[in-house]
Amino acid sequence: MPDRVILHVDLNNFYASVEALHHPELRGKPLVVGGSEESRHGIVLAKNYPAKAYGIKTGEALWQARQKCPGLVVRPPDFKKYLRFSRMARRIFSDYTDQVEPFGIDEAWLDVSGSTRLFGPGERIAGEIRRRFREELGVTGSAGVSWNKIFAKLASDLKKPDATTIISRDNYRDIVWPLPVEELLYVGSSTKRKLQNRAIYTIGDLARRDMALLKQFLGVWGETLSTFANGNDTAPVRRAGDESIIRSIGNSTTTPRDLVTPDDVKLIIYVLAESVAARLRAHGLKCLTVAISVRDKELSSFERQGKTPQPTFISADIAQRAIELFTINYNWNKPIRSIGVRAADLVTAQGHVQLAIFEDITARETIEMAIDNLRGRFGHFSIQRCSMLTDRALTGFNPEADHTIHPVSYFK
Residues 351-380 as b or e (16 or more Cβ within 10 Å = b):
eeeeeeeeeebeebbeebeebeeebeeeeb
* pLDDT of res. 384: 76
Residue 250 three-state SS: strand
Task: Report the C-alpha gap between 88 and 18 in whole angstroms.
Answer: 12
Q: What is the pLDDT of residue 325?
A: 96
Distance CA(5)–CA(110), nearest Å, equals 8
Longest dimension (CA), the chain: 70
pLDDT at 407: 47
Helix residue ranges, H only, 44-201: 49-52, 62-68, 79-94, 116-119, 122-132, 149-158, 172-175, 189-196
Which DSSP helix (H) or strand (E) runs through 15?
A: helix 14-22
- 176-229: CATH superfamily: 5' to 3' exonuclease, C-terminal subdomain (1.10.150.20)
> What letter would DSSP give residue 180?
B
Specify the pTM: 0.68
- Looking at residue 246, its pLDDT comes to 62
What pLDDT was estimated at residue 243?
A: 45
Burial class (CB in 10 A: 0-12, 13-18, 19+), 298: exposed
pLDDT of residue 83: 85
Q: Which of 107, 274, 368, 400 is catalytic?
A: 107
Q: Which residues contact 349 (CB under 8 A, 6 or more apart)?
A: 280, 281, 284, 285, 286, 311, 313
How much is the pLDDT for 40?
62
Are residues 347 and 311 in contact, defined by beta-carbon separation less than 8 angstroms?
Answer: yes
pLDDT at res. 240: 58
Q: Percent of the chain at pLDDT above 90?
A: 57
Q: Which residue ranges of the chain lie beneath pLDDT 50?
A: 242-244, 352, 357-358, 403-408
| Helix ranges restricted to H, 283-350 | 315-329
Predicted confidence at residue 130, as pLDDT, reads 97
Domain ranges in the chain are: 1-171, 176-229, 248-402
pLDDT for 411: 54
Query: Known catalytic residue: 107?
Result: yes
248-402: CATH class? alpha beta
pLDDT at 373: 77
3-state DSSP: the chain helix, strand, coil percent, rounded to 5? 45, 20, 35
For the domain made up of 1-171, the CATH class stated in words is alpha beta
- Residue 199 is predicted with a pLDDT of 95
- Sign, Cα dihedral of 292, 296, 297, 299: negative
Task: List own/partner pairs for 140-146 with CB under 8 A and 24 or more apart.
Answer: 140/11, 140/12, 140/17, 141/9, 141/10, 141/11, 141/12, 141/89, 142/9, 142/10, 142/12, 143/7, 143/8, 143/9, 143/10, 144/7, 144/8, 145/5, 145/6, 145/7, 146/6, 146/8, 146/172, 146/231
Secondary element (H or E) of residue 108: strand 107-111
